[in-house]
Structure formats: structure tokens, C-alpha cells
Amino acid sequence: MPIEHVSATTRTVATNGVELAVTDAGDGFPIVLAHGFPELSYSWRHQVPALAAAGYRVLAPDQRGYGRSSRPEAIEDYDIVHLTDDLLGLVDDIGAERAVFVGHDWGSMVVWNMALLHPDRVAGVAGLSVPFVPRGPMPPVQLMRKAFGDAFFYIVYFQEPGVADADLGRDPGTTMRRMLAGLSVPEGGSVDMTGLAAPDGAGFVDRLPEAEGLPSWLTQDDLDHYTDEFTRTGFTGGINWYRNFDRNWKLTAHLDGAKVTVPSAFITGSADPVALMMPAAVMDGWVEDHRGTTTVDGAGHWVQQERPDEVNAALLTFIDSLDLGGH
């Protein structure tokens, strides 16, 4: 089916104690797209029509805490069990047994965990920007505090309720512009993700680089859409995901040493600063049926928005390699 003939609807699915706004397009084997921080289902606007046109049923939710979906107040309502169960609820809602799960950024962590927690429901898993990272020897935030000491590190900064929420929410337009336009590494350069050079007392947004104009892949309408939504909702829902890092570590004690056994793929950008912190090599020996890693040359952190054609091609190559039961 030509992409221009694909129509998508947005509907609400009640599951797992929340209501999720879901973009739903196409027919066929289901593919669930899980966005990252601070994003929305809109982040998959270039993937939804392409995957649907290729013959798949695409479900792209605003995940809990985001956009038009529920934003529970309790921090513990954003732990990894809730987040993976939300996505399972979408698959249950359409009466499917299995799906292909694709995540970007925080969404990658959710789908990698889905592959460990519910491998029988996962026909394949693809992570974008964030590779599969084996469970560490101690709670992650505890480890970060030890590693960074008194230096600024954004995940540690995000832990105190209310602080980062106010910082990011003070001017959502500036927050989203700097986040979306600034997270890439100059060729041959590096990005200081700790913000050590920023003045004392600076928050997270002040440490983000201010880009000169918008990149070619991000229109003013795109930026306005993100800004309008986060102006309406604030950032607390998404930040609460970070406040569950240590809780998630404790909840997944039974997965210590577990490997990803379902078919997997990884897509990253060569200019993604996350690749400096978490290179694809961390997956070596931990993904047993890895179908390939794609590095999109020159792409930054928002790879599926920056370079949709290459990402769509890599995703379809991976999905077409799977045994989807006659699809």
C-alpha cells in the first residue's frame, strides 16, 4: 500500500489502571512503538505510515505520564513493571498474542525489559539510541552518585521531586528546542554530558547547548507541537520514569544475568551523545539472536526523526527477517 494512502486514527485504550492515547494504523502483525524522553507518539510520525504501508498494524502510544495519556501522581506508578504492562495491554486490546516492540531512548529500556520479562509475547525487539544494558552490580542511581560525586549529572539531578520539574517546565519552548536541536556530537568532537563547565547552581536546561536555528528535520510546527503538549502537561510524568531506576533494579533482581533471547536489532546515530556513554558494544554476549546493528552516519540522538528513511529501511529489514507466523 502506498504511504500516502495510509490513514491513522488516535484512540484511547484503558489498560493497567490508566488510559493511553494511541495512534493506530494499518492491518497485520502488530508493531508497538515506544517513545523516549521528553517525547510523544508524534516522535514516530515518519515510521507509523511506512510500517503500516508495509503491511503491519502499528500502535504508537503516548506512554503514561505523557501527552494525552494518564499522568498518575505516585512516582512508583512509573516503574518498569507498569511501563511494560502498559504495552502488553495495547497488544491484549487488539487480541494479539505477540508483537514486535520498537523503542527509542527510554522506550528502548522498556522494550529491552519487555524481552526479558515477557519473551513469549515478543516476536522481536529493536532498540534505538539506547542498547541493551545488562543489570549492574548495584542500584543505578547509587552507582551514579558514586561515580559523579559532587559533579552535576542529569539523572541524579532528576531524582529530587519538584526540582527538575520546575526547571524543565519554566519555559517548555526553550527546553524542547534545546533538547531536540542540540543533542548531537560534532564530527570528531565530544559532548560533556555532565555539564561540568556550566556555572554553579545551573539547572539542566541551562546546561543544554542553544542551537543556531532549527535543524532541517525539525520544522517549527513540529517544535510547536511538542511545546504545546509539554506546556499543557508539564514534564513530571516523564521525569518520574528516571525516579524509578533504583526501584526497577530491585524489581528485576530475578533477571540478574539474563540475556535477550528473542530476535533483536539496534539502531543508533554516529553523532548520538548517548553512544559515548553506552556504546553498542555493551550488548556483546548479551543478545543471543542479534540480527544487526545499524549506525546512521551523521545522525544525532533523535535518529528516527532525523533520518527516517534509513531507520525505516533498517526496521523493515529486521521485521521482515522474523518468523511472524505466516504474516
Chain centre to alpha carbon of residue 207: 22
The band of 188, judged by pLDDT with boundaries at 50, 70 and 90, is low
pLDDT at residue 201, rounded to an integer: 65
Residue 200 reports pLDDT greater than 70: no
Residue 221 reports pLDDT greater than 60: yes
- Domain assignment present for 291: yes
How many structural domains compose the chain? 1
Give pLDDT tens digits for 128-170. Answer: 999 999 999 999 999 999 999 888 899 999 999 999 999 999 9
Set 77, 79, 105, 272: catalytic member: 105
Share of the chain above pLDDT 70, in %: 92
- Domain assignment present for 311: yes
Chain centre to alpha carbon of residue 209: 21
pLDDT at residue 6, rounded to an integer: 74
Average pLDDT, the chain: 93
- Domain assignment present for 325: no
Sign of the dihedral defined by the CA atoms of residues 175, 279, 49, 114, in that order:
negative
Q: From the CB of residue 270, how many other CB atoms can be counted at a distance below 10 Å?
A: 15
In CATH, what number is assigned to the domain containing residue 27?
A: 3.40.50.1820
- Domain assignment present for 86: yes
- For residue 123, the enclosing domain spans 3-320
Annotated active-site residue 225? The verdict is: no
Alpha helices in 54-203 (DSSP H): 80-93, 106-117, 140-148, 154-157, 163-169, 172-182
Give pLDDT tens digits for 113-139. Answer: 999 999 999 999 999 999 999 999 999
Annotated active-site residue 221? The verdict is: no
**Per-residue pLDDT averaged across 301-322, rounded?**
98
Residue 326 reports pLDDT greater than 80: no
